[in-house]
Amino acid sequence: MPLRVTFLGTAGAIPTTERNPSAIFVAREGEELLFDAGEGTQRQMMRFGTGFSVSHLFVTHLHGDHVLGIPGLLQTMDFNDREEPLTIHTPSGTRRELKGLVNALGNRPSFPVRINEVGDGDVAYRADEYEVRAFATDHDARSVGYALVEDDRKGRFDRERAEELGVPVGPKFSKLHEGESVELEDGTVVDPDQVVGDPRPGRAIVYTGDTRPAAATVEAADEPDLLIHDATFADDRADRAAETAHSTARQAAEIANRAGADRLALMHLSSRYAGRTDAHLEQAREVFAGDETDAFVPDDGQALEIPFPDD
């Protein structure tokens, strides 16, 4: 069950020649999700081969560098005669602004566009095996972050133990794994907890969008496999980070530790650091409790597979 994250845009408010404004593409078992869509997102999707079959777009806030790609993306979907609906999740109180962006196409798209307002703690989207939850962030706009959290998986089936207990290989194995007791020919009853281990946690990805360090990020998911955090500035501009409601790389790493994140992607680097990631990396890694290389600054187009924790 692959879970793949592609960083389409990793720039701060002003793009650079190497970095596009914010957009993150997530593919999970045939389903495609997009988080933010800064200007030029559709071209990044072409460049990095993600395709346009996105079913849900999750907007963290309505600053231009996170949403100006929406009209162009919708227009291309329209030219492609898309029919499948697109749901756009957006912070509470921003429906009208978001509608303005959709209306910027000048014509009604060929497919339904649904707008869903979300606030802290809301489940924005419930899928079969996971959900995407919104959580409060601390920025100078109505804003939320998003956590994609998979459901627990079934525990491991102990085949050897089942055979020892006399369960015949076959449908009774799957029944037990599904959580049902089975009766053997001699009348003995075998219960699932005799042969099935504890449920295993699924995977989780947390994306903050623009924010100061915020407590809700820590609570958004239990030990996420990947935290994608605002790291607009390095220590030299820590004052500026606080003033403009952003974070430093060091602060992002502190939040990653508190959340128990395995990996930390430092995003939204200010254009003043164009071409340089050394300060961000060094300062984040001074703090980050995980493996040093797991705190990183993604390049545009970089893709990451998220494995199951115990694989």
CB of 176 to Zn ion, least distance (A): 50
- Interface stretch with Zn ion, choices 46-54, 63-71, 101-109, 181-189 (CB under 5 A): 63-71
63 counts as binding Zn ion under rule CB under 5 A? yes
Q: Where are the alpha helices (DSSP H) in the chain?
A: 41-47, 64-67, 70-79, 95-103, 159-164, 171-177, 192-195, 215-219, 238-243, 249-259, 278-287
65 is catalytic: yes
246 marked among binding-site residues: no
CA-CA distance, 45 to 277, in Å (whole number)? 24
Which residue's CB is nearer to Zn ion, number 18 or number 198?
18
> What x-and-dash track marks residues 6-25 binding Zn ion by CB under 5 A?
-------x------------
The answer to whether 264 touches 229, Cβ cutoff 8 Å, is: yes
Query: Other C-beta atoms within 10 Å of 292: how many?
Result: 11
230 marked among binding-site residues: no
280 marked among binding-site residues: no
Q: Could you say which DSSP state residue 180 is in? A: -
Place of tokens 């958004």: 220
CA-CA distance, 196 to 85, in Å (whole number)? 40
CB of 138 to Zn ion, least distance (A): 11
The answer to whether 37 touches 70, Cβ cutoff 8 Å, is: yes
Which of 32, 65, 117, 300 touches Zn ion by CB under 5 A? Answer: 65
229 marked among binding-site residues: no
Q: Of residues 193-232, which lie at the interface with Zn ion (CB under 5 A)?
A: 210
Contacting positions for Zn ion (CB under 5 A): 13, 63, 65, 210
Known binding-site residues equal: 61, 63, 65-66, 139, 210, 268
Provide the annotated active-site residues.
Answer: 65
